[in-house]
Amino acid sequence: MQADYVIVGAGSAGCAMAYRLAEAGKQVLVIEHGGSDRGPFIQMPAALSYPMNMKMYDWGLKTEPEPHLGGRTLVTPRGKVIGGSSSINGMIYVRGHARDFDHWAESGAQGWSYADVLPYFKRMEHWHDGGHGGDADWRGKDGPLHITRGPRKNPLTRAFVEAGAQAGYPVTGDYNGEQQEGFGPFDATIYKGYRWSAASAYMRPALKRPNCTLTRAFARRIVIENGRAVGVEVSRGKKIEVIKANVEVIVAASSLNSPKLLMLSGIGPADHLKEHGIDVVADRPGVGQNLQDHLELYIQQAATKPVTLFAHWNLRGKAKIGLEWLLWKTGLGSSNQFESAGFIRSDKGVDYPDIQFHFLPIAVSYDGKVAPEGHGFQAHVGPMRSVSRGQVTLKSNDPNTDPKIEFNYMSDPSDWEDFRKCIRLTREIFGQAAFDEFRGHEIQPGEAAQSDADLDDFIRDHAESAYHPCGTCKMGAASDPMAVVDPQARVIGVEGLRVADSSIFPRITNGNLNGPSIMVGEKVADHILQRNPLPSENAQPWINPNWKTAQR
């Protein structure tokens, strides 16, 4: 078992790299612990709450008790399946804001500014505007990743955007184009009624080539000889073997498993490795540090008219949706139901959006439990750039033990302030005339919760992860002691080894992370192939001209 390039993880970035390296004629072998993504629970967009709660498809990782969330342990689903988390996520496609990438470049990830990454977003996208308008010039037309928009037939979905406008916010035809700020339609990785994961976009086409293979195995550690990565030790059943890499090993195992794999291989904070009896190959104190995520709350409102998806939330309704999807790939089963978005700034003096809304025309939790009220609607809302940082460390030197995950959510006072603002701004939007004919009582937090203390109690008990972990193998200048990889994603201090997935994000981007994770795979593939990067594009994003003096 050997190849020029061995990629650990067939997730969002891993699939993209496999495709680009195989296309260039390189011999590629991808190691994936999970199995096939062929089941209807993955392929049917409306079934999204199932795969992330299924042991078959999810690593089943959990946080340590979170001290600022009342000691709650939160689940952190990561895809253990071909396509990785792109096969179990909510299918929402957000590039991130231009300023996010400029910040990356300013913090030491040279060559990763918005001008540098925009051509890669365009290369990967095949965008279908579906007649909703948008910025065709800013979008890719013939990439492998199909991106579509939901039909937006539900009156609540349209009322949400209208309410945003009534509250004084801009409306945007394409938050992934020139103007992110405002309310408008969501983009989704859905195509012809199917989830269009990284497996569909990249892995399956790559495997049609004779020079790309996928092997099902569990990566235990990277084999390093004389300071160079030469292979990956894997287990298959009872057997442990080494898969050799003639040129490079590329780790794309997620922001929770990639740092774990590096540490098990002797790359990480020296004292922590010694504590677990691991020989130090490269003392990189940043491995596992800088862990970030998006937290969100579900603000729920009862509906006075039976226009919500609750009408279908019974055995007969679900069977009908499932049948229509199975036969024709149409109907409610073909949408993730997240069809309207909002990106706003929390305050004057904030130059680009730092709050995101996902609107849903049903009051439901991520595990599929509906509110006892029945008909309702909700907005998922949360701050985009929390300053809290956590860490991923080892519990033991046994590769079969899960990593120790501590997000340290809400550890900074500014997070509480931001979240209270999120709740109050959402209430204001739900209070607009556009919702008058639909609005019942507030389900949660509930009208009684008004004071800061009441809201803080609600936040502590109800904040949930949006499942956007990143940052644990930070990309930066080779001289930065906390950087793990350089701007070409090469692990600093080890030859022939790269990390390329959301762990290399210096700072979390605005919105959902699947888009930027795939972009990382696309761009790093060019670095691996020693190609000149795609020519940078000087497209200037829209920034609210009154941002210094006004919140909207």
Q: How far apart are the C-alpha atoms of 59 and 55, rounded to whole Å?
A: 7
Say if residue 499 carries a ligand binding annotation. no
Give the per-residue SS3 of 165-225.
HHCCCCECCCCCCCCCCEEEECEECEECCEECCHHHHHHHHHHCCCCEEEEECEEEEEEEE
Whether 146 is a known active-site residue: answer no
Instruction: Please provide the size of the chain in residues.
Output: 552
Quote the crossing angle between the two packed helices 114-124 and 514-528, to the nearest 10°.
100
Cis peptide before 144 (omega within 30 of 0): no
Q: How far apart are the C-alpha atoms of 191 and 125, rounded to whole Å?
A: 12
Label the pairing between strands 239-251 and 267-268. unpaired
* List of residues 6+ apart from 60 with CB closer than 8 A: 75, 402
* List of residues 6+ apart from 333 with CB closer than 8 A: 44, 45, 46, 47, 193, 321, 322, 324, 325
Q: Which residue reads 């709740």 in tokens?
A: 423
95 within 8 A of 136, measured Cβ to Cβ: no
CA-nearest of 88, 94, 77 to 518 is 94
Catalytic site residue from 103, 441, 468, 527: 468
248 within 8 A of 305, measured Cβ to Cβ: no
Q: What is the DSSP letter of 128?
A: -
Tokens encoding 185: 């339609």
* List of residues 6+ apart from 370 with CB closer than 8 A: 310, 313, 362, 363, 364
Residues annotated catalytic, as ranges: 468
Q: Which residues are annotated as a binding site for FAD?
A: 81
Residues tagged in the binding site annotation: 81
